Structure 1
Amino acid sequence: MSRSTDFDFDADVVIVGASFAGAACALAAAQRGLRVVVLERKRDPGEKLHTTGIIVKEAAEQTLLNRVPAPMTRRIEQVRLYAPNLSQIALAAPGYYFLTTDTPSVMRWLADEMRVHGADLRLGCAFTDARAIDGGWEVEGVGRARYLVGADGARSRVARRCGLGEVRQFLYGVEYEFPGAKLAQPNALHCFISKRYAPGYIGWIAQSPMGIQTGLALRHDAANARVPDIEGFLLRVGAAGGLPRHLKPGATRAGLIPCSGPVMDMARDRAILIGDAAGIVSPVTAGGIHSAWEHGWAVGRAIAAHLRDGGPEAESIAVEAAPRFRTKRALRWAYDRLQFDWPFDLLLHSPPLRWAAEQVYFHKRRG
């Protein structure tokens, strides 16, 4: 069989999804001179978002996200953790911070960055189908591509079409945005533990560049789906978190959040999953931007190295570069099965619980 040449293909890589993981992969590959096509079903990359958009210090300093325009971010240096009875502790680590973001504007900025670096970003173009061919994939609406990358979320169509692993465990989250509003304590990320309102996860309130973001997520059971009671949650915790009364939400975000760690079989036969599609989300904090960015970037670089320099197969690099979250997966298992309100009410101020909380929020983010 003859070896395929560049002229046999319309693109080196087709990436489905233009969120953080997809953008990182596209930028990494395009900077190495690959022909990159990014398919994004939304016409506006800043609309209908599922992400809170909190960027941790590592991502803000060690990735291209350090170039996000300053007006699109707000620095937060403290976490206030609330027990179910609303007693609280302040958590911080020297030099550590988070950035809340004007997430719609950040996504539009990333779209511009992809175009500037030569990626062919096609907004309003959904992935519909693909079939395996010699040396790559025939992608409907695009043509022949050497690699197909799925960055298309927790219910990845690329995963299903290519026979790759699929996310099996989820949280379901809802977030309200209150434009122009200001918290009484705007310099903290307020996190609330409550088995009643957030079984398997937490609620949160944070100041962002646009106003206030409030959210609630809980364990998702497809057979017994439950919608988060965010209205009841805010009535319960709003005053403690410094939320002004009588606010009316503007934008609402909702969606599934992977929580089981990386999927099995995330890469095979020049098809690779990244980001939420690959389960690259912390099973405990559900934070995904830093991990998704690093994994997407590694995959983009690996594809370029394989095609340009004869490096190792990108599929193997994709698997090796995926964080395992072993400790956090164990914590997820325990939290799912052993969550009770009374230990947090009783032990919130104890040194062991404070230590554990600081490990989750500030350290060992790869664990």
Structure 2
Amino acid sequence: MHNGNHDVIVVGAGFAGLACAHEIAKAGRRVCVIDRKRDLGGRLHTTGILVEEALANPLFTDLPAGIHHSVSSVKLYAPGLESIELTAPGYRFHTTDTPALMRWLGEQAVTAGVDMRLGCAFREAQATAHGWHLPGVGQCRYLVGADGARSRVAAYFELGRVRDLLHGVEYEYDGAGLRRPDALHCFISRRWAPGYIGWIAQTPRGVQAGLAQRLRPGAPPPDVAAFLAHVAPLVGLSIVRKPDSIRAGLIPCGGPVRPRVGRHVLLAGDAAGVVSPVTAGGIHSGLRHGAEVGRALGQALDSGIPPQASSIRAIPAWRRKRALRWAFDHLQWDWPFDLLLKSPPLRRMAEQIYFHRRGRAPSSP
């Protein structure tokens, strides 16, 4: 690829970056996406689990059926491994063949007119009269940092930095199966996942199992192998080999950063801290925020008026979830969950967190 002029250069070909690029391309503007990975399906840092709202995003129109697997309920396990099942009418989670999903999204972006530059890392930007020049890439009016929790764009331009993080590790076992492939199995345990949860789910490729915990100086990484030795028989997972792939990454959990907008520079998705402080769900939020940033840039390019952070919607306040995050960080003990797991208040709170509204108890077999 040769250097060129673009209206917008997006750094990062994740969910937020691709959603942003799609909106700009849809507006008839020239947009380039750069990513240091040479393969969008390689070195992933996401679980790839989609909530129902995310699958309704226009970015997933015509998503091939073999890429996602529907999950109709959540089985929530207390530290003592007692469980309750949570459902909501018409609500589904969707696990994915995440490498295939990211490659497909990249192909869709190219079809939409996005100039994709893989194997191209962001290192520096030189100011021009009307925007920025990225050596080896070209010039642009606006630059978008959608390059994750450790955003190089945010650091380079001295914008808001993500400080509060979870550390997640996930194993994948190709071809494996669960006794209940229709359930997302979630485990609360201060021992295995202080500050967050463990999870096991069926995917189109096999089974994914992971842990995330609050990132603290000197803390060891999540011990997924020991966690699985403890819980795998409960879900019918037979572990007889090493995982076929391992993912690891940092997840923002402190809410949106400030500032998110600089001189012709904007942050989107994880780089902007737009991730639920409690559930760590960043895909749906990133899709919405990335698309909103793209629309704001389209308007700015038409009007000549730079966008302001206050004009970019799709950032929830998350006041209640930020309070729950504080409680989970400072007041997490195992015994209340063991004691109260089947109580109506805990069920209602879990339903609100997982389904954003009250669910219903599953009918008896």
Shorter-chain TM-score bucket reads over 0.9
Tell me the distance in 2 between the aligned counterparts of 1:139 and 1:315: 23
CA-CA distance at 1:29 after TM superposition: 0.3
What is aligned with 1:341? 334
Report the counterpart of residue 150 of structure 2 in structure 1.
155
Residue identity (%): 57
Q: Deviations over 1:87-108 (max 9, x none)?
A: 0000000010011000101100
Q: Secondary structure at the match of 2:309?
A: helix
The 10-residue stretch of structure 1 (129-138 or 158-167) with the greater mean CA deviation from structure 2: 129-138
Q: Distance in 2 between matches of 1:261 and 1:311?
A: 30
Distance 1:279 1:262 in 2: 4
Indicate yes or no: 2:251 matched with 1:257: yes
Kindly provide the amino acid, as one letter, of the partner of residue 257 in structure 1: I
Partner of 1:173: 168
d(CA) in 1 for partners of 2:237, 2:311: 42
Offset of residue 317 of structure 1: 5.4
Partners of 1:38 and 1:318 lie apart in 2 by 23
For residues 67 and 323 of structure 1, do their structure 2 counterparts lie closer, same or farther at Cα, with a shift above 3 Å needed? Answer: farther
SS of 1:314's partner is coil
Distance 1:67 1:329 in 2: 35
Q: Mean alpha-carbon deviation: is it higher for 324-333 or for 291-300?
A: 324-333
Distance 1:327 1:51 in 2: 24
Task: Give the alignment partner of residue 78 of structure 1, picking from 62, 65, 73.
Answer: 73
Pairing 1:185-264 to 2, within 5 Å after superposition: 185-221=180-216, 223-264=217-258
Q: 1:123 aligns with which of 118, 123, 143?
A: 118
Give 1:364 deviation, angstroms.
Answer: 5.8
Distance between the aligned counterparts of 1:328 and 1:95, measured in 2? Answer: 24
Q: Which runs of 5+ in 2 are unaligned?
A: 359-365
Contact 2:292 2:312 in 1 (8 A): no
User: Which deviates more, 323-332 or 199-208?
Assistant: 323-332
**1:351 corresponds to 2:344:** yes
| Matched letter for residue 92 of structure 1 | T
Are the counterparts in 2 of residues 302 and 317 from structure 1 also a CA contact under 8 Å?
A: no
> Structure 2: which amino acid aligns with 1:250?
D
User: Where does 1:82-101 land on structure 2 (aligned, <5 Å)?
Assistant: 82-101=77-96
The answer to whether the 8 A contact 1:78-1:187 is kept is yes
What is the alpha-carbon distance in structure 2 between the residues aligned to residue 65 and residue 199 of structure 1?
A: 34
| Distance in 2, Cα, partners of 1:354 & 1:328 | 16
What is the identity, as a one-letter code, of the residue corresponding to 1:251? S
5+ long unaligned stretches in structure 1: 1-8
Q: Structure 1 residues 364 and 158 mapped into 2: Cα distance closer, same or farther (>3 Å)?
A: farther
Q: Secondary structure at the match of 2:199?
A: strand
SS, match of residue 94 in structure 2 = strand
Q: How far, CA to CA, are the matches of 1:213 and 1:201 in structure 2?
A: 17
In 2, distance between residues paired with 1:317 and 1:144? 26
The amino acid of 1:134's aligned partner reads A
The match for 1:63 is 58
CA RMSD of aligned residues (A): 1.5
Post-superposition Cα deviations, 1:19-48, rounded to whole Å, max 9, x if no partner, equal 100000011101111110111101100000
Q: Taking structure 1 as reference, are residues 294 and 204 closer, same or farther at Cα in structure 2, changes over 3 Å only? A: same
Determine the structure 2 residue equivalent to 1:5: none
Shift of residue 128, structure 1, vs aligned partner: 1.0
Structure 2 distance, partners of 1:215, 1:161, is: 32
In the TM superposition, residue 312 of structure 1 has moved relative to its aligned partner by: 5.7
SS in 2 for 1:175: strand
CA contact (8 A) 2:276 2:321 kept: yes
1-structure distance, mates of 2:57, 2:269: 18
Query: 2:219, 2:26 → 1: CA distance?
Result: 43
Give the letter for the 2:308 counterpart: E
Mark the CA change 1:274 to 1:318 in structure 2 (over 3 Å): closer, same or farther.
farther
The one-character-per-residue Cα deviations of 1:34-88 (angstroms, maximum 9, x if unpaired) are 1101111011000000000011111112432243211100000100000000000
Q: Give TM-score scaled by structure 1 length.
A: 0.94
Mark the CA change 1:79 to 1:247 in structure 2 (over 3 Å): closer, same or farther: farther
Is 1:20 paired with 2:15? yes
Deviation at 1:247, TM superposition (A): 4.0
1:258-288 Cα distance to aligned partner (Å, 9 max, x none)? 1111111011211011111111111111111
Give CA-to-partner distance per residue, 1:317-361, whole Å, 9 cap, x none: 564432222211111011100000000000000000000000000
2-structure distance, mates of 1:25, 1:353: 37
Structure 1 consecutive aligned stretches of length 4 or more whose deviation exceeds 4 Å: none
| Alignment CA distance shift 1:144-1:200 (3 Å) | same
Q: CA deviation at 1:143?
A: 2.4
- Mapped to 2, the partners of 1:69 and 1:106 lie a distance apart of 9
Q: 2:25 aligns with which of 27, 30, 50?
A: 30
